[in-house]
Structure 1
């Protein structure tokens, strides 16, 4: 499912309430962060990385999270070697979304469970999560409990963890 209309149909069929805000196309987390963020309790940004064994990981964190220490994260997760960013082709094949539209909602497209979801532990303290609904011209908000139900459609269970951040140089 790479059509946002079908995604909203799935939410409706599962009885999941949602609110969607349409906006200009955004290609980066910073593009969304420049908006009025008071609309969302926990807006997210996402990256897709892979290890040497080609295991894919979708890392979902708060939109304003500083850069991650991917080397430390790979070690924390027990990945096979260092992480590299997944190519658009690899990401598209697994999640059926384009760069700029990566979202935890795209896990509904990963019927083979090739992608391991890694969620920022701070997200579980929120009542809602806001992410692109498979397209980067909207942001959709659903309850965290409903996100877990949605992920269960394909048997995904996220790993919640404290994400290691890059050490920022002192100026």
Structure 2
């Protein structure tokens, strides 16, 4: 049974991690979420649940504005082949999430460590990072270092790599 929002908050509290959460109407795309930007400071995330041909799974978390080249990302993240999006059934099984609510917080449900977490180095330059807290009707703000503490406490040692292929202005 996937963890609930309250169980996530309790876990973060046990780690002495301070967060703030804002409830809002469900959002399913980065575009819809961008309408909330005035209320929520910090970096906002885009999350890709990917798999390679050997059924290795990856959760790639980047800034919402990042450009991700799905034709070459496998070379960066150590996949066995080109990647495709993981099926909703595996997303639910491994991260306890449904499409539209994909979030780095989902690794709290990956007790078997089936998913490799990859964070974009550009995202990690922000002090505050925002992600859905297991559902897409809220946004939780967490400090960058606290996010790393959370991930390590779940048994996930993230790769921090340059994923964003966009050219800075």
Do the aligned residues in 2 keep the contact of 1:2 with 1:97 (CA within 8 Å)? no
Secondary structure, counterpart of 1:74 in structure 2: helix
Q: List per-residue Cα deviations over 1:77-124 (Å, max 9, x = no partner).
A: 231111010010011100001111111111111111110011110122
* DSSP 3-state at the match of 1:70: coil
How many correspondences in the alignment? 166
Larger mean CA deviation between 79-88 and 33-42 belongs to: 33-42
CA positional deviation for 1:40? 2.2
Corresponding residue of 1:152: 152
Aligned residue runs from structure 1 range 69-148, under 5 A: 69-148=69-148
Write the deviation string for residues 135-155 of structure 1: whole angstroms up to 9, x where unpaired. 100000011111111111222
Q: Structure 2: which 5+ residue stretches go unaligned?
A: none
Q: Which residue pairs with 1:61 in the alignment?
A: 62
2:35 corresponds to:
34
CA distance in 2, matches of 1:85, 1:62: 18
Q: Is structure 2 residue 13 aligned with structure 1 residue 12?
A: yes
Distance of aligned partners of 1:53 and 1:37 in 2 relative to their CA distance in 1, 3 Å threshold: farther
The more displaced of 50-59 and 20-29 is 20-29
TM-score (norm 1): 0.91
The answer as to whether partners of 1:72 and 1:164 remain within 8 angstroms in 2 is no
C-alpha RMSD of matched pairs (Å): 1.6
Given that residues 5 and 133 in structure 2 are in contact (C-alpha distance below 8 angstroms), is that contact kept between their aligned partners in structure 1?
yes
Q: Contact 1:69/1:166 (CA < 8 Å) preserved in 2?
A: no
Deviates more, 1:120-129 or 1:45-54: 120-129
